[in-house]
Chains A and B, each alone.
Chain A
Amino acid sequence: MLNRREFVLGLGATGLLTALPGVSFAAAGPGTRVLVVLLRGAMDGLDALRPYADPNYARLRGALADANNIGHKLDGTFALHPSLGFASELYQNKQLLPVLAVAPPYRQRSHFDAQDCLENGTGTPSGARDGWMDRCVRALPGSEGLALAAVMPLIFRGGGAVSNWSPPLPEAADAALLQRLQPLYAADAALAENFAHALSGDEEAMPAMAGMNTPRGGGTLVAMMTAAATFMAKPDGPRVAFVEDTGWDSHRGQAAQLTRKLAELDAALKAFHAGATTIWPQTVVMVATEFGRTAAVNGTGGTDHGTGGTMLLTGGAVNGGRIAGTWPGLANSDLNDGRDLRTTTDMRSVFKAVAQQHLGVAESALETLVFPDSRAATPLDGLLLARRNA
């Protein structure tokens, strides 16, 4: 074990290790783990999970519905995008569960407001100033959360036992400097807690990971999911973690963009799976996005902001190999405002089911603390294997 100071000094001296300082998890608690992957920009759910047998699909989608390259057929109706090869293997192994026509309870089309709703767990962007994952950590005493992000996302804000992490700077931190800064930060009410946390605890140096030092410093999805697996697989690792990605807004030239982005997602799932083998049976990964996109292709080979989207659940604890949710149809009369896939599942019904049935959040805490005023969004049954891991 190294504390952050020793770690950083060591790194500065050798310059060889790529390691993950700054996070420690004291409490083990039950062994279940949840990772939320937020794809910002609105992944096109109808392209990720293609309703290839719906007669309206080819009509609406034009060139985006390439009959010669429909992807990985899951059943007589749906196929995963050609880039989602590993995900389709997970499906075959009954460990991938797509959820249809799902979105946060927000019906406008602003990315930022919709992401705020997804993250704050309410029906309006200003419905809560803290995030539902933060409240989830608070509802599970002794557990900790980790955001793999340079900036703490809303979903984890609110004062629970949560930290964030991104690839470190190579510069060594001078122990004497940190020591002199400590009393100064202790006297600053707004920064004291976070600064203390930055220096606290014992931290383990992590094995070197290829691809961690990405050019722009933000970290690619693959690198961040690899890091997430490494953290979460530790015996005292975070029970809930969060990874985010951007670049999903596909207003034009969507075919090329999503071929690339979904391949990244597929590789990221594979990397997480490989790194998290020890905890995989107790793990649920939820891949979510703020909303779906227009049912029809637009004038520029892309799609505009829509409503009902697609979620992907995976992990050893998931009751996969089938498709969850209710298909609302693509006939003109079925569409929301005549343009988008309707939403048939409130995303909170998925989050609540996993928080309650997998993490063990008590029902009272679920309804009052984690997802207040969400009685109408009842937890979705059957997402998880009946076997409970403790």
Chain B
Amino acid sequence: MAASLDTHHALIRFGLGPRPGEAKAINDPRAWLLAQVQGKPRELSAGFAALPSSLDYFGREIDYIKEAAADKKQRGDQPTPQASPTQATAAVLGSADDPSPAGRKRKQPGQVQGFRKVFGADLLAEVRARYHWAISTEDGFHERLTHFWSNHFAVSLDKRAASLYVMPMEREAIRPNVGGRFEDMLLAVARHPAMLRYLDNVASVGDDSQAAQRLQQRAQQKGRKLGLNENLAREILELHTLGVDGGYSQSDVTEFARALTGWSMPRPRQLQGRAPSAAFEFYDITHEPGARTVLGKRYAEGGEEQAQAILHDLARHPATAKHLATKLTRHFVADQPPPTMVARIAKTYLDHDGDLAAVYKAVIDSPEAWDPANRKLRTPDDWLVAAMRAGAIDIDQKLRPSMDLLAKMGQPTLTPRSPAGYADIAADWNGSDALFKRVQAAQLLSDWIARDRDPIAMAQDALGTQLDGDTATGIRRAESPQQGYALLLASPAFQWR
């Protein structure tokens, strides 16, 4: 098989698109792919080293909340003008000429600064590191898988409470486990503050827990009641593990939610002397006591370990294997995943106890994944990254307009509109409006490419065997190098991977 494998196919289908000259450096595409998922991942670029951990962010968030509360008190309970998370992230990631920096305008001497002003630079640094790496890495397959799992465990910058932890989650919970076991990734995500806050588990309290009983009276006086929130439990079952047809019931959701009570974040006074990875805390007093039954299996009371045991079993469930195999096959082969391949990948998953490196190897060794008849439409994010790699564009200089572009193309960075993440099929991204915006975006990007590149050489680098005669002719006849670059990036051939 290896002899006939096409290097450009590997770079485009499995990777994030070739950088100039990258294809020439690869002798054996299969070996190139396998090397990225077996053994230790390549060390990340320097931009990552300076980024704060979740625990760092948590400490600063607490300081910010205290400062804001004190400030509010001092000013006699005037309503605090506070940016919504959408505005906050938009101001940082969106258009550079944001017309309404509300926090700035309204700032009075002594008044605490707005959330986005305090944390905006951090978010910008996070996004810069992520895209700089995506555009420069030689391990495009590993990075594609990282993005795949981030989207599988989707969290959103749109939810203010979770927004500081969204980018750290990819670094802390996804990246270390991309080549490891699914169970470890699942557990790392379920314990991460981004997920615990995005799906509200930090506020879920067992109805019969000590906290609920102790606080019931006080809470009732305030017209509140402490109790269960099913959100995380449901989405773990529906989206992260079994899949919606995975055979669970409402009672499984409720029971699992009870087991997850107590999974939360540390209290401020517990922060001293913690390892930076430990932004998780289990609370016995909010945990629902007693045994739980999920999918017909009884889990004895065991505090934190109870939900962990359930996650352990979910990770090994055949429905999870099928769900993950379907999503991977859809991502690497076709919008309608071939059932025989799904079955094969699911079997590999179960045979290897959820070892993802073995699963990726099975995907690489699937002829379906190399069949040129199978095509995947690049999502806007995929397209932007591939275009910037092809054009050797320096993202650091173009970060804000790039993020603005993604939002306008319907895929704002790490802001999916639901926990299901961004869609992975062509029908979501190939509408008339979307295609027209790609032409506009291609023109914009073509202005960012150094004019000394020969457009046809760039096209050969970017598409290789997938550069068809008509597209090549069109590029050769372009009126200017810029128009040639734009034609390449807007061409139908460049929309597929």
A297 touches B490 (CB 8 A): no
B443 touches A181 (CB 8 A): no
Contacts of B225 in A (CB 8 A): 62, 297, 299
| One of A111, A125, A300 near B418 (C-beta < 8 A) | A111
B430 touches A191 (CB 8 A): yes
A215 touches B87 (CB 8 A): yes
Q: How large, as a class, is the contact surface on chain B? A: 35 or more
Interface residues of A in 45-101 (CB under 8 A from B): 62-63
**In the complex, which residue of chain A has the Cβ closest to the Cβ of B479?**
A176
A169 touches B405 (CB 8 A): yes
Asked if A150 lies at the interface with its beta carbon under 8 angstroms from chain B, I say yes
Asked if B238 lies at the interface with its beta carbon under 8 angstroms from chain A, I say yes
Rounded to whole angstroms, the CA-CA distance of A180 and B434 in the bound complex is 18
Asked if B435 lies at the interface with its beta carbon under 8 angstroms from chain A, I say yes
> Shortest Cβ distance from B193 into chain A, in angstroms?
16
> Shortest Cβ distance from B176 into chain A, in angstroms?
29
| One of A163, A167, A180, A301 near B478 (C-beta < 8 A) | A180
Asked if A113 lies at the interface with its beta carbon under 8 angstroms from chain B, I say yes
> Shortest Cβ distance from B157 into chain A, in angstroms?
10
Rounded to whole angstroms, the CA-CA distance of A152 and B408 in the bound complex is 14
Stretch with Cβ within 8 A of A (4 or more), from B91-99, B295-303, B355-363: B91-99
Rounded to whole angstroms, the CA-CA distance of A111 and B408 in the bound complex is 25
| One of A151, A177, A190, A215 near B423 (C-beta < 8 A) | A151
| One of A164, A187, A337 near B433 (C-beta < 8 A) | A164
| One of B91, B244, B410, B495 near A112 (C-beta < 8 A) | B244
What are the interface flags for B270-291 relative to A under an 8 Å C-beta threshold, 1 for contact and 0 otherwise? 0000000000000000000000
- Contact status of A191 and B487, CB under 8 A, knowing A112-B420, A180-B478, A301-B224: no
Stretch with Cβ within 8 A of B (4 or more), from A192-200, A315-323, A344-352: A192-200
B433 touches A22 (CB 8 A): yes
- Contact status of A151 and B429, CB under 8 A, knowing A216-B90, A246-B418: yes
Interface residues of A in 157-192 (CB under 8 A from B): 157, 163-169, 171-174, 176-178, 180-181, 183-185, 187-188, 190-191
Interface residues of B in 419-474 (CB under 8 A from A): 420, 423, 426-437, 439-444, 470-471, 474
- Contact status of A167 and B408, CB under 8 A, knowing A22-B436, A216-B94, A299-B227: yes
Contacts of B229 in A (CB 8 A): 251-252, 298-300, 302, 304
Rounded to whole angstroms, the CA-CA distance of A185 and B410 in the bound complex is 21
Rounded to whole angstroms, the CA-CA distance of A218 and B203 in the bound complex is 30
- Contact status of A299 and B226, CB under 8 A, knowing A169-B437, A191-B435: yes
Rounded to whole angstroms, the CA-CA distance of A105 and B426 in the bound complex is 28
Rounded to whole angstroms, the CA-CA distance of A41 and B98 in the bound complex is 28
- Contact status of A216 and B86, CB under 8 A, knowing A4-B436, A299-B227, A300-B227: yes
**In the complex, which residue of chain B has the Cβ closest to the Cβ of A8?**
B440
Q: How many residues of A contact B (CB 8 A)?
A: 63
- Contact status of A188 and B407, CB under 8 A, knowing A176-B479, A177-B486, A299-B227: no
Contacts of B207 in A (CB 8 A): 299
**In the complex, which residue of chain B has the Cβ closest to the Cβ of A163?**
B432
Contacts of A163 in B (CB 8 A): 431-433
**In the complex, which residue of chain B has the Cβ closest to the Cβ of A200?**
B432
Rounded to whole angstroms, the CA-CA distance of A4 and B222 in the bound complex is 58
B439 touches A177 (CB 8 A): yes
Rounded to whole angstroms, the CA-CA distance of A171 and B95 in the bound complex is 14
Asked if B139 lies at the interface with its beta carbon under 8 angstroms from chain A, I say no
A181 touches B432 (CB 8 A): no
Contacts of B408 in A (CB 8 A): 150, 166-167, 169, 217
- Contact status of A63 and B224, CB under 8 A, knowing A190-B375, A194-B431: yes
Asked if B137 lies at the interface with its beta carbon under 8 angstroms from chain A, I say no
Asked if A109 lies at the interface with its beta carbon under 8 angstroms from chain B, I say yes
Contacts of B226 in A (CB 8 A): 299
Asked if B109 lies at the interface with its beta carbon under 8 angstroms from chain A, I say no
Contacts of B410 in A (CB 8 A): 150-151, 166, 218
Interface residues of B in 374-388 (CB under 8 A from A): 375, 377
B443 touches A218 (CB 8 A): no
B441 touches A169 (CB 8 A): yes
B94 touches A217 (CB 8 A): yes
Asked if A239 lies at the interface with its beta carbon under 8 angstroms from chain B, I say no
A298 touches B435 (CB 8 A): no
A110 touches B427 (CB 8 A): no
Contacts of A246 in B (CB 8 A): 417-418
Asked if A138 lies at the interface with its beta carbon under 8 angstroms from chain B, I say no
Asked if B223 lies at the interface with its beta carbon under 8 angstroms from chain A, I say yes
| One of B227, B250, B407, B420 near A109 (C-beta < 8 A) | B250
What are the interface flags for A1-37 relative to B under an 8 Å C-beta threshold, 1 for contact and 0 otherwise? 0001000100000000000001000000000000000
- Contact status of A216 and B415, CB under 8 A, knowing A150-B410, A297-B225, A300-B200: yes
Rounded to whole angstroms, the CA-CA distance of A297 and B427 in the bound complex is 38
Interface residues of B in 170-208 (CB under 8 A from A): 200, 203-205, 207
B87 touches A171 (CB 8 A): no
- Contact status of A171 and B435, CB under 8 A, knowing A166-B410, A176-B479, A217-B407: no
**In the complex, which residue of chain B has the Cβ closest to the Cβ of A187?**
B470
B222 touches A63 (CB 8 A): yes
Contacts of A252 in B (CB 8 A): 200, 203, 229
Rounded to whole angstroms, the CA-CA distance of A8 and B439 in the bound complex is 12
A218 touches B440 (CB 8 A): no
Rounded to whole angstroms, the CA-CA distance of A167 and B409 in the bound complex is 10
Contacts of A215 in B (CB 8 A): 86-87, 90-91, 94-95, 98
Asked if B167 lies at the interface with its beta carbon under 8 angstroms from chain A, I say no
Asked if B491 lies at the interface with its beta carbon under 8 angstroms from chain A, I say yes
Asked if B228 lies at the interface with its beta carbon under 8 angstroms from chain A, I say yes
A sample of 7 more A-B contacts (CB under 8 A), given A166-B410, A174-B483, is A163-B432, A167-B408, A180-B487, A184-B491, A185-B435, A198-B435, A215-B91
Spell out B's residues near A (CB within 8 Å). 86-87, 89-91, 94-95, 98, 158, 200, 203-205, 207, 212, 222-231, 234, 238, 244, 250, 253, 375, 377, 404-405, 407-410, 412, 415, 417-418, 420, 423, 426-437, 439-444, 470-471, 474, 477-479, 483, 486-487, 490-493, 495
Spell out A's residues near B (CB within 8 Å). 4, 8, 22, 40-41, 62-63, 108-113, 125, 150-152, 157, 163-169, 171-174, 176-178, 180-181, 183-185, 187-188, 190-191, 194-195, 197-199, 215-218, 246-247, 251-252, 297-302, 304-305, 337
Give the 5 A-B residue pairs with the shortest CB-CB distance, closest first: A299-B227, A150-B410, A215-B90, A63-B223, A217-B407
Q: What are 15 A-B pairs at a CB distance below 8 A?
A: A40-B417, A62-B224, A63-B223, A109-B250, A164-B433, A172-B443, A173-B436, A177-B490, A184-B474, A194-B435, A217-B404, A297-B225, A299-B225, A302-B200, A304-B229
